Structure 1
Amino acid sequence: MPTHIWLGDRDSFVPRAMGEYLQRAIPHVDLHWAHGKGHFNIEDWDAILAACALDIGKRRGG
């Protein structure tokens, strides 16, 4: 199952160490660091949705 995690390096809710832990713990995870962003990173929605759409297309054979 494709897994993407998007974390802002200025996130005050989810510490960087948790992102690094999840990167080690989840096989084949794509961890995306959003530089200068906090917890609610709406500026990167286009990239987030594009990554999801690409994975859905791969699963459907497209």
Structure 2
Amino acid sequence: MACGGAWDVDPTRLPVPTWRWYGDADTMVPASHGRWLAERIPQSTLVVRAGEGHLGVVFGHWDEILSGCGAAPRRS
């Protein structure tokens, strides 16, 4: 996303919590990308899993990821 050109969204103005999940062994979308975004998104939580690759984070930690989504405050 960050290298695809201009965005139509300013990440510094996102009004909701976000979670970024990365593996430190990911060669497709490196954890440095997540750090870059986490530095710009005000309510960002960055999770970097040691030894995980691109899909290992998702498939290996699916329950934890979904639990984090459920913990997000609901807006009405």
TM-score normalised according to structure 1 size: 0.83
Overall identity of the aligned pairs, in % = 39
Q: Which of structure 1's runs of 4+ aligned residues deviate more than 3 A?
A: none
Deviation at 1:16, TM superposition (A): 2.5
Whether 1:36 and 2:51 are equivalent positions in the alignment is yes
Question: What's the secondary structure of 1:11's corresponding residue?
Answer: coil
Give the match for residue 40 of structure 2.
25
Decide whether the 8 Å contact of 2:31 with 2:48 is kept in 1.
no
Which one has the largest radius of gyration? 2
Give yes or no for contact 2:38–2:45 (8 Å, CA) kept in 1: yes
TM-score by length of 2: 0.70
Cα-Cα RMSD: 1.5
Deviation of residue 14 (structure 1)? Answer: 0.9
